[in-house]
Amino acid sequence: MNVMKRATVGLKRQMGQTIVLILTCFLLGSLISGAVLVNQAIVNTNNALLARLPALAIIHVDDDSFLEEWTRTGILPYRENLTISHLQELGSLPYVRHFDYGVAAFDFFSEELVRVWYPELFLFANPPNPSPIDDRSLSMWFETNFEQFTLSGVGHADVLPIEAGIIELTAGRTFTDAEMEQGMPVVIVSQSFLNVNSLVLGDRFTIEQIVFAHLDDARQQRYTAENILAQVNHEFEIVGVFDRDLPDDIVLMSFDIQDHLTILNQIFVPATFAIQTNEWEFEVLADLANVDVEELLRPNPIDFSNVYFQLYDPLSLPDFHLATTEILPDHWTISDYSFIYADITYSMTLIGNIASGVVVGATVAIVLILGLVVLLFFRMRRKEIGIYLALGEKKEKIMIQLLLELFFPIMVGLTLSLFLGSVIASEVSHRMLRESMLELQQDGLVFGDYEVLGIRIEMSHDEMIEMFELKIDAQTVITFYSVASGTVLISVMIPMIVTLKTNPKDVLTNGEL
């Protein structure tokens, strides 16, 4: 009789053993399957949440690590300035599709141009502002005919807000490499800016860069012609026009309108031009103070509140974060928009830790309990095994026969446990997730630096929880059977090796193993 037939006969004859094995694996396997499903659901949910994020990361100062070192050492930490070389190294990482840095130039004024301001938009905001005022207008705070504008110097010819789809280039072009290198006075402005100032693509307009005197008496009006210390006029050519629609998939708030209008007022120029204008102002101030320029500490030209990295895929954000730690100096870090998922991420981490503990506990339980059950069954069949050995049967064949007799009931028990574990884990994990999130921040909106770019994602706790779905897919099945089968194999092999070391003579003469 071959090994397969002997195994089949053994299964039929040892029906009680078969049922016990099925029940043991069913109960213990349910714990493992539930834990595996929960961990896989956490991975799937994290990926689903990441997929909804903009594939955009921002560089900023790591205040937490700065304060931690200061508190620990009692010495104010040194924070190295970032350089364009750092940014270029980060931009060369394989995850990065495009990166840009900003150089802001603030002291630009005009008595002819006006800012974009649409108070009627606030009628759609919730809650509406009954008398919206452009508090970013210079005339709001001073009696002056001047309006102030900020130039947004971009470090890349293909302007990142356009590349990232935050704004849309509707006419004209972006900057050329020559314009970027030479710092040409060319601009990309919004269609709204053109409309309110009666301009069109290809027109030229002038903005004055002015250094006003700093007055000791705050009651005096600073922004007047009498207080001008130095001035240079810049004539700009309009080479590109962008536009942006207000999002219709979120509940608009007053600050959404403010951020939208801020974007429409942006005047994009090559970063090299902005650096040149800042250098002029730096030299003027040094001259007015009668100080040698070389004796002054030059400010870093890069505006680190305006450095963005656009990735190919939002799912690459964790890998990008990890890679940046090797490049960034101390006390600098990268962040993305995933902070809006902080509540569910924290809750899933707690549940994941519990699930991992369950896997460890269930694995130990299977090794011990199943190992003892199998050892008991083998002892009950010690005479049969001794006879096989006495007749000269190879231990390898006996091992295969015993494994086959164990394989079928164990696989049946594990397969059934996969479905029971999914039902139990789904109910328990959703309840734990909901209760954990209730203890955290209540449903509402979470905001950050990205809103200034016009990016905002709204998700309530209920919407996040709905994305946490336990499902039996190919990856889950492979993971479950890998973990469970490996554990079962260890449980079975130990008593089997002990049993097959028996002396057949002792079994036949004494009936003992």
Helix-strand-coil split of the chain, %, nearest 5: 55, 15, 30
Q: For residues 337 and 457, give the distance between their C-alpha atoms in angstroms, rounded to a whole number.
A: 9
The DSSP symbol for 390 reads H
Closest by CA to 245, choosing from 298, 190, 286, is: 190
The mean pLDDT of 105-121, rounded to a whole number, is 91
Higher pLDDT, 280 or 449: 280
pLDDT tens digits, 290-299 = 776 565 556 6
Res 273 pLDDT > 50: yes
Q: Write down how long the chain is.
A: 513
Q: Lowest mean pLDDT: which of 115-119, 130-134, 195-199?
A: 130-134
Q: In which band, very low, low, confident or very high, does the pLDDT at 300 lie, cut at 50, 70 and 90?
A: low
Mean pLDDT for the stretch of residues 414-421: 85
Quick one: average pLDDT of 470-483? 82
pLDDT number for residue 447: 45
Give the per-residue SS3 of 222-286: CCCHHHEEEEEEEEEEEEEEEECCCCCCCCCCHHHHHHHHHHHCCEEEEHHHHHHHHHHHHHHHH
Banded pLDDT at 203 (limits 50, 70, 90): very high
- The dihedral through the CA atoms of 134, 136, 140, 143 has a sign that is negative
Helix axes 15-51, 395-438, angle to 10 degrees: 40
Query: What local confidence, expressed as pLDDT, does residue 442 receive?
Result: 47
Residues 6+ apart with CB under 8 A from 281: 107, 209, 211
Interval 468-480 mean pLDDT? 82
Which pLDDT does position 510 carry in this prediction?
Answer: 56
Q: What is the pLDDT of residues 355-379, one digit of tens each?
A: 888 888 888 887 888 778 777 777 7
First-to-last C-alpha distance (Å) of the chain:
25
Confidence of residue 147 (pLDDT cuts 50, 70, 90): very high
pLDDT of residue 12: 63
196/513: higher pLDDT? 196
- Both tokens assigned to 278: 């800042």
Q: How confident is the model at residue 513 (pLDDT cuts 50, 70, 90)?
A: very low
With 80 as the cut, is the pLDDT of residue 57 above it? yes
Q: Which of the two residues, 397 and 433, has the higher pLDDT score?
A: 433
Lookup: tokens for 512: 């003992």
For residue 11, the model assigns a pLDDT of 59
pLDDT at 78: 87
- Average per-residue pLDDT for the chain: 82
Residue 103 scores a pLDDT above 50: yes
| Closest of 276, 288, 290 to residue 232, by C-alpha | 276
Please say whether the dihedral angle defined by the alpha carbons of residues 438, 443, 448 and 454, taken in this order, is positive or negative: positive
Identify the pLDDT of residue 7.
60
Q: Based on the number of CB atoms within 10 Å of its own CB, is 196 exposed (0-12), middle (13-18) or buried (19 or more)?
A: middle
The whole-number average pLDDT for the span 99-106 is 85
Query: In which band, very low, low, confident or very high, does the pLDDT at 344 lie, cut at 50, 70 and 90?
Result: confident
Give start and end residues of each alpha helix (H) in 183-270: 191-196, 254-264
Of the pLDDT bands very low, low, confident and very high (cuts 50, 70, 90), residue 443 is: very low
Residue 19: pLDDT band (50, 70, 90) is confident
446 pLDDT higher than 50: no
Report how far residue 482's alpha carbon sits from residue 476's, in angstroms, rounded to the nearest whole number: 10
Taking residues 385-406, what's their average pLDDT? 71
Provide the pLDDT for residue 49.
Answer: 87
Inform me whether the pLDDT recorded for 179 exceeds 90: yes
Q: For the ranges 2-11, 75-84, 433-442, which has the lowest average pLDDT?
A: 2-11
- Percentage of the chain beyond pLDDT 90 is 23
**Tokens 């807000």 -> residue:** 161
Q: Residue 445 — very low, low, confident or very high, per pLDDT cuts 50/70/90?
A: very low
Distance CA(98)–CA(131), nearest Å, equals 40
For the cut 70, the answer to whether the pLDDT of residue 459 exceeds it is yes
Residue-wise pLDDT for 59-97, tens only, equals: 888 888 999 999 999 998 988 888 878 888 998 999 998
Distance CA(27)–CA(269), nearest Å, equals 67
Which runs of E-coded beta strand occur in 261-347? 267-270, 303-311, 332-336
Give domain limits for the chain. 3-53+344-510, 98-309
pLDDT of residue 131: 64
Rounded to the nearest 5 degrees, what angle is found at the Cα of 65, between the Cα atoms of 56 and 458? Answer: 35
Q: What is the mean pLDDT of residues 209-228?
A: 79
The residues that bridge with 232 in the sheet, in sequence order, are 209
Give the percent of the chain with pLDDT over 70: 83
The average pLDDT across 306-324 equals 89
CB 384 within 8 A of CB 499: no
What is the C-alpha to C-alpha distance for residues 477 and 469, in angstroms, rounded to an integer? Answer: 15
Confidence of residue 411 (pLDDT cuts 50, 70, 90): confident
Residue appearing with tokens 């939208």: 260
Tell me how far apart the alpha carbons of residues 149 and 168 are, in angstroms, rounded to a whole number. Answer: 21
Query: DSSP of 70-94, one letter per residue?
Result: HHHHSSPPP-PPP-HHHHHHHHTST
DSSP state of 320: H
Report yes or no: 151 and 108 within 8 Å, Cβ to Cβ: yes
pLDDT band at 452 (very low <50, low <70, confident <90, very high): low
Decide which of 60 and 402 is more confident: 60
pLDDT tens track for 208-217: 999 998 776 6
- Can you tell me which residue has the tokens 């309108």? 257
CA–CA gap between residue 452 and residue 103 (Å, rounded): 16
Query: In this predicted structure, what is the pLDDT of residue 359?
Result: 81
pLDDT for the residue 349? 87
Higher pLDDT, 307 or 382: 307
Rounded Cα–Cα distance for residues 368 and 370 (Å): 6
The DSSP string of 464-512 is: HHHT------HHHHHHHHHHHHHHHHHHHHHHHHHHHT--HHHHHHHS-
pLDDT of residue 418: 85
Distance separating alpha carbons of residues 420 and 402, to the nearest angstrom: 28
SS3 35: helix
Res. 511: pLDDT tops 70? no
